[in-house]
Amino acid sequence: MTRIAAVHGTLAPHRYDQSEITDMVARRCLPDGADRRTLDRLHRAAQVRARHMTLPLDQYEALDGFGAANDVFIHAATDMGAKAVREALRQAGLAAADVDLLVFTSVTGIAAPSVDARLAGRLGLRPDVRRLPMFGLGCAGGAAGLARMHDYLLGRPDEVAVLLSVELCSLTFQRDDPSPANLVATGLFGDGAAAVVARGSGRTGQAAGPTIVDTRSRLYPDTGRILGWEIRDSGFRVVLDPEIPGVVRRHLADDVQDFLDVHGLKPKDVSAWVCHPGGPQILEAVGEALDLPEDALDVSRRHLADVGNLSSSSVLHVLRDTLATRRPPPGTPGVLLAMGPGFACELVLLRW
* Sequence-distant (≥ 6) Cβ neighbours of residue 198 within 8 angstroms: 2, 3, 4, 5, 146, 149, 150, 153, 160, 161, 162, 163, 212
| Residue 148 identity (one-letter amino acid) | R
Q: Quote the distance between the C-alpha of residue 269 and its chain's center.
A: 25
Query: Which of 139, 169, 275, 345 is labelled catalytic?
Result: 139
CB proximity list for 323: less than 8 A, separation 6 or greater:
7, 208, 209
First to last CA, the chain: 12
DSSP 209: S
Per-residue burial over 40-75, b if 16 or more Cβ lie within 10 Å, else e, is bebbeebbbebbbbbbebeebeebeebeebbebbbe
How would you classify the pairing of strands 101-106 and 14-17?
Answer: unpaired
DSSP calls for 237-274: EEEE-TTHHHHHHHHHHHHHHHHHHTTT--GGG-SEEE
Q: How big is the CA angle at 330 (ends 326 and 335), to the nearest 5 degrees? A: 65
H helix runs in 130-203, sequence order? 141-155, 180-188
| Residue 29 is among the residues annotated as catalytic for this protein | no
The answer to whether 67 touches 177, Cβ cutoff 8 Å, is no
Q: Which helix (H) or strand (E) holds 91?
A: helix 66-92
Q: Which residues are catalytic?
A: 139
